[in-house]
Structure 1
Amino acid sequence: MFADRGYDFDTYRRLIRARDITPKIAQRGAPHGSGLGKTRWVVERTFAWLHQFKRLRIRYKIRSDLHLGLLQLACSITCLRRLKTSF
C-alpha cells in the first residue's frame, strides 16, 4: 500500500501489516524523490472530472444504488468526452 508522509506513523504501519499488506509510506523529513505520490494527480484529476456533475458533488440521493448509477453514468460520459477529443 502506497501512502504519503501524512500516514507515516507506527500505528498505521502496524494496522497495515496486521492485514498482511506491505506498507510503502514515505518517511517524514526524507527528501522528495522517493517516487511516492508521482501519480497522485491522476486520482485528483478524476475526482475533478466527476465533481463536474452536481448530483455527485452534492449527494442528493440517499439510496446507494441510485448514487452508484449516477456515478457509472458520469464515468461513461467522461470516457465518451475523452474519446471524442482524442480522435
Structure 2
Amino acid sequence: MSTLLTAHALHVETAFGPLFNTLSFTLKKGDRIGLIGHNGCGKSTLLQVLDGTLAPTSGSVSLAGQCLMARVEQHLPEALRSQSLLQAVLA
C-alpha cells in the first residue's frame, strides 16, 4: 500500500513540559486509525502538527503529493454548522 503520511521523531514542548517525544508513525492508503486519550494529552496538538497549523519543536511530517490533510474543530464555528462534514473540511 502507498504511504500517505509519515511522522518522524515528532517532539512538541509546551510550558508544562513535553506532550510527546520522538513520536514516529506512517499512515498508508486504507489505514483506519483512532486517536483517543484524556484531556490535555496532546490529541488536538498532534492533529495541528499533522495538518501544518502548528510546527513541532523538532521532527517532521511528510505528506504524499495527492494527500489532502484537513480537520474540523471539535466545536464548529457558526459558519460551518449548516455544511456537511465534507463541505466543512474542504472550506
TM-score by length of 2: 0.22
Give 1 or 2: higher helix fraction. 1
Give 1 or 2: higher strand fraction. 2
TM-score by length of 1: 0.23
